[in-house]
Amino acid sequence: MATDQVGEEPTILHVDMDSFYASVEVLLDPTLRGKPVIVGGSGDRGVVASCNYEARSFGVHSAMPSVRAKRLCPHAVFVHGRFDTYADYSKRFHEIFRSFTPLVEGISLDEAFLDVTGGRRLFGDGAEIGRAIRARIRDELGLRCAVGVGRSKFIAKLASKAAKPKPGRPGQGPTPGVGVLVIEPDRELEFLHPLPVGALWGVGPQTQKKLDRFGIVTVADLAALPVDTLVAALGNAQGRHLHELAWARDDRPVVPESKPKSIGHEETYAKDLHDHDVLGREAVRMADAVAHRARKAGMEGRTVTVKVRFHDFHTITRSHTLPVPTATAAVVATVAKELLAGVDPGPGVRLFGVSLSNLVEATDEQLTLDAAVADHTGWDDAARAVDAVRARFGDAAVGPAALVEADGAGLRLKREGDTQWGPRGARGKTDR
């Protein structure tokens, strides 16, 4: 029994749904079957979030501007994403995953890693589990997926990609994939080294450009480069990481259920905004959404960040860290507006966003305070909550931040002896 676990290679699965959002849309509206379907914004500034194989056969792919997708595939059906619905489906196939192992790590709505090392005696080897999962997802949900199996997350992910169908020519169906692909430990390098470097996790367009200068095209080329050279070119963390990956070394564990580190909301506007007041109202709306989601997640955060993207795509962020975490919309909005005061929207703002980070799990006291302030149920409740925080964490926990105070138009954040707190970004740095 013990020998079964000791010295054994882990078995990791990566499950990747086939064109997930678009497939769910076809499922919910069977008249779409057989037609090219594109999920995403259809406006001038929209992009493709997902598309089915009928659309892909015309060269459409995720992240492509919708304007271009329309040109490539004029008869495509555009649908707006219904992310709550996708999340429901995601929950359902996660339940299927969890019937094979508790070690399930979702990396997006449509992808997950499974560590099935402990379940092999019960359910069979990786390939068998992969086939069982595919069959259940097909039979119970009517969806398709590809499964990669390997000794590590990274190999499993590359394997699932290789197991997927390939888009055919326009008007023709896709070439079916193998569905489940197992990469045995002794075949890893054989599988990995011929792939283009861009296949590696963490190699995007910018990194690719840098690697081009060394004449690196394949993973084998990358593996042949000394680590020090790579570190000099890409920095310490990325250089070492990519070198390890190029030799198929990846010991990152499958981690189920991790807490979020930030919660944000942002929007690209159909027409640029130029007006400070309009932006201020947007800040309130976004702060509201962010605070609501934070409370729902049972989290609160100390750092509020605003993000502004100008018409020319130049993007800036301004942030401020509070002494005490919050999940109160009014507080987040106040900080966001203060930060915004140091930004000139004159050139035209195409995107604006608010996010909350430095997250911690909410304490009961803080939630009571938030609720009291947010609902205006009464300052007595708020004061009691503050007292509770003081009693538990000391004066320092609430002293510097003091309270949120109603003042006519809304709420203002008060800090001790502070006449001009707020964006320190206003200390001479330009926005360009």
Kindly determine how many residues on this chain lie close enough to bind DNA according to the rule CB under 7 A: 61
Q: Which three-class secondary structure string do you get for 139-159? A: HHHCCCEEEEEECCHHHHHHH
Closer to DNA by Cβ: residue 17 or 382: 17
- Give the residue among 252, 259, 256 at the shortest CA–CA distance from 104: 256
Q: How far is the CB of 107 from DNA (least distance, A)?
A: 6
The interaxial angle of helices 364-375 and 329-340, nearest 10 deg, is 80
Known catalytic membership, residue 111: yes
State yes or no: residue 262 binds DNA (CB under 7 A).
yes
- The stretch near DNA (CB under 7 A) out of 3-11, 43-51, 174-182, 222-230 is 43-51
For the beta sheet containing 299-310, the strands, ordered from the edge strand earlier in sequence to the opposite edge, are: 262-273, 349-361, 299-310, 315-326
Closer to DNA by Cβ: residue 357 or 379: 357
Q: How far apart are CA 85 and CA 62, in angstroms?
A: 19
Give me the 365-404 binding string for DNA, x by CB under 7 A, dash otherwise. ----------------------------------------
State yes or no: residue 303 binds DNA (CB under 7 A).
yes
Of 210-239, binders to DNA (CB under 7 A) are: 235-238
Interface residue with DNA, options 24, 49, 287, 291 (CB under 7 A):
49
Of 60-89, binders to DNA (CB under 7 A) are: 62-63, 65, 67-68
Closer to DNA by Cβ: residue 175 or 236: 236
Q: Which of 111, 128, 184, 244 is catalytic?
A: 111
DSSP lists the bridge partners of residue 263 as 356
Interface residue with DNA, options 56, 134, 164, 320 (CB under 7 A):
320
Interface residue with DNA, options 176, 201, 232, 281 (CB under 7 A):
201
Q: How far is the CB of 18 from DNA (least distance, A)?
A: 12
Closer to DNA by Cβ: residue 44 or 125: 44
- Give the residue among 344, 393, 129, 200 at the shortest CA–CA distance from 211: 200
Interface residue with DNA, options 111, 221, 272, 381 (CB under 7 A):
111
Interface residue with DNA, options 293, 384, 390, 412 (CB under 7 A):
293
Q: How far is the CB of 173 from DNA (least distance, A)?
A: 23
Closer to DNA by Cβ: residue 192 or 263: 263
- Contact 327/370 with Cβ under 8 angstroms? yes
Q: How far apart are CA 164 and CA 152, in angstroms?
A: 19
Helix/strand number for the chain, H first, E second: 17, 14
State yes or no: residue 328 binds DNA (CB under 7 A).
no
* CA trace torsion 178, 182, 184, 190 (10° rounding): 40
- The backbone region for 324, taken as left when phi is positive above 0, alpha when psi lies in -120 to 50, beta otherwise, is beta
Q: How far apart are CA 114 and CA 67, in angstroms?
A: 37
Q: Two tokens at 254?
A: 């499958």
State yes or no: residue 263 binds DNA (CB under 7 A).
yes
State yes or no: residue 41 binds DNA (CB under 7 A).
yes
Q: Two tokens at 145?
A: 């997926």
Q: Two tokens at 76?
A: 């495509």
- Long-range contacts of range 378-381, CB-CB < 8 Å, 24 or more positions apart? none
Q: How far is the CB of 2 from DNA (least distance, A)?
A: 33
State yes or no: residue 177 binds DNA (CB under 7 A).
no
CA distances from 156 to 14, 92, 115, 425 (A): 5, 22, 10, 44
State yes or no: residue 148 binds DNA (CB under 7 A).
no
Interface residue with DNA, options 110, 115, 300, 370 (CB under 7 A):
110
Return the sign of the alpha-carbon dihedral for residues 289, 292, 298, 301: positive
Q: How far apart are CA 125 and CA 117, in angstroms?
A: 9
Q: How far is the CB of 3 from DNA (least distance, A)?
A: 34
Residues that bind DNA (CB under 7 A): 41, 44-47, 49, 62-63, 65, 67-68, 107-108, 110-111, 157, 200-208, 235-238, 260-268, 293, 302-303, 305, 313, 315-321, 350-351, 353, 355, 357-358, 423-425, 429, 431
| Active site members | 111
